[in-house]
A and B are shown apart, each in its own frame.
Chain A
Amino acid sequence: MEPLLRVERLTTVFDLPGGALPAVNDVTFEIQPGETLGLVGESGSGKSVTALSIMRLVQPPGRVAGGRIVFKGQDLLTLDERRMREVRGAGISLIFQEPMTALNPVFSVGDQVAEALIVHGRVSRREARAAVIELLRAVRMPNPESRIADYPHQLSGGQRQRVMIAIALACRPSLVIADEPTTALDVTIQAQILDLLRDMKSQFNLALLLITHDLGVVAEIADRVAVMYAGRIVETGPVRAIFRHPQHPYTRGLLASIPGGAPGQRLKAIDGAVPLLNALPPGCAFNPRCPDRFEPCTTEPPPDYAVGPDQTAKCYLHSPQVGADRRVRPGADPAVGADPSVGADTSVGPYPS
């Protein structure tokens, strides 16, 4: 099947005085029509820059330095700005993390939903009101007829995120990119918004690229998962495989650090901290924190190795030259048994903005 979106060897750099920093480094993935891909990573891993790159919204000093972004057979990086504007909203739309800052405080929410429809020529100004009410009803906004006159500050966080989703769905895109859509919300509201996204997906036959740091959210909603670390996708696979048989030590470490097990026990933390982009270690960027590190890890960044059906990991443990005994550590526990109180957080320095 032809994928809806294929991101191929995407590299996005930030040109800073010290040189070009690769925020997204040789990233390749696909999304099928109707599929949900969970893009997981910590702050600075490059997941949001990946989203902005797809929408061609990266601002200088950032720029897409290489690769292809093929959406419905068309390389978005070759489109002129006018054609790209048609793709944004009508082909791919974006939901941001913070609904308070993403909405314009001086326009009513009705105007903001209508703007999307009118700009794309979907409805005339006269028809807009009815269309907006219908959209707000679709995202289960209570009393949409009266709510369209409200301003963002009059809505709760969850209602604002419903408005954002209504705007994102206004022009019937086939792909929605949601960047941490529930991170700013309370857990009960988060549950409602996740349910809504799930419903909208089946109702509108949407594909969803869900960017999050929360593995619980990924388990709830994703079909496939890509794990990012320091600008690269280090592991990708079907959601069940990633949670049941993680193959990259970083994925294993993330899953193991989730609180659980016997109360009061120490958590299985990953040692150290995420490296800065201007101070990436040679070889695999995870190697200083990796409990499985061995000789090749510190020389060349590892390529993708197939580790299961539709599952790949960038880790030399899975190189055909490496014996199977090395892949399974004693106890077969995916834990990373490092002592975090010793030598933790060793990388310091100002963060590149």
Chain B
Amino acid sequence: MSLVEVEHLVKHFGRDTGLFRGGTRVAAVDDVSFSIDQGETFGLVGESGSGKTTTGRCMLRLIEPTSGAVRFRGENVLEFSRSRLRRARRDMQIVFQDPYSSLNPRMRARKIVEEPLVIHELGSRAERRDRVAELFRLVGLSPAHLDRFPHEFSGGQRQRIGLARALALNPSFVILDEPVSALDVSIQAQVVNLLMDLQRQLTLTYLFIAHDLRLVEHICTRVAVMYLGRIVEIGPAASLFAAPQHPYTRALLSAIPVPDPDASRQRIVLDPASINRNAVLKEIAAGHFAAV
């Protein structure tokens, strides 16, 4: 069953018209639709500027979309009042890419993780204290470090703090926006394992926004590929990676460096002329659609 449905989502960024110039408008997200099933990890991939982060932020209304609908458990989040939206956000959270800039450097780790509980007025002081310690253990941090400041943690640990904060309100849906790309190689695998463990333990549904296609192939059940604000291909990870249909997906997959000196490298260079911007998504295999 679908937990989240995104329908015809559009976000224009524009500059207002001035006295001497017309307004300019960029469609960062251009008619994007997809749905995410309960318990799945849905991958949203694309290069910088493709609109994947904007899509994620529009879904939580961290950015107000221009039009479209985002249904969460059947209700359109975009029609929620401020107070209704605040309540809804208990259930839908986000972990940001950069663990260095997404934690307030002046707050102790304890406060950072506690803040969502305070804002949503949950629990007494003592209950919050216990909950924060529990969250610390949940993400593999030592409760002995609760009173440290962010700079006293390594990158991997900071991302664990960001994750603890996101999980504080017991959400069912978490947007992971490039959660490991700022981390060192040996730490990435630790955090990925933690994400997979937590998903099983807490029955979480993930939207995983990433550009690391090897990782997406490994952890996602279904994947959508974005290019210039649109989804050009979407389908089960196994089918999409084994038989990519859209020219952009093919070019993208062929560009991944293979960690094997003997791998044959047949690079497919994208010819922008080969992309039909007006093509609509067509089903080419079970559940696998491409705009070709």
Contacts and interface: CB of A to CB of B under 8 A. Distances in A.
Interface in A20-45: 42-43
Interface stretch (B9-17, B73-81, B210-218): B210-218
SS class of chain B's interface: helix, strand, loop or mixed?
Answer: helix
Contacts of A243: 259-261
Contact of B257 (A190, A264, A345): A190
A130 interface: no
A297 B189 CA distance: 25
B190 to A, nearest CB: 4
Interface string A234-271: 00000110010000000001110111110111111111
A158 to B, nearest CB: 11
Interface string B116-144: 00000000000000000000000011000
A310 B260 CA distance: 19
Contacts of B69: none
A264 B222 CA distance: 12
Contacts of B151: 350-351
Contacts of A265: 218
A123 B47 CA distance: 40
B287 to A, nearest CB: 16
A44 B71 CA distance: 44
Contacts of B157: 273, 345, 348
A284 interface: no
A345 B148 CA distance: 14
B252 interface: yes
Nearest to A187: B255
Given A240-B261, A243-B260, A350 B193 contact: no
Interface residues of B, number: 50
Interface residues of A, number: 52
Nearest to A255: B259
A259 B218 contact: yes
A274 interface: yes
A86 interface: no
The listed residue with most B CB atoms (<10 A of its CB), out of A187, A271, A350, is A187
A152 to B, nearest CB: 17
B34 interface: no
30 contacts: A43-B184, A186-B47, A188-B251, A188-B252, A191-B254, A191-B255, A194-B257, A214-B257, A216-B257, A220-B257, A240-B262, A254-B186, A257-B188, A257-B189, A259-B215, A259-B218, A260-B214, A261-B218, A263-B219, A269-B192, A270-B189, A271-B190, A273-B156, A273-B186, A343-B140, A344-B190, A345-B154, A345-B156, A345-B190, A348-B148
Given A219-B259, A273-B187, A341-B190, 15 more contacts: A186-B47, A187-B256, A213-B184, A215-B259, A216-B258, A219-B263, A220-B258, A259-B219, A263-B237, A269-B192, A270-B189, A341-B140, A348-B152, A349-B152, A350-B151
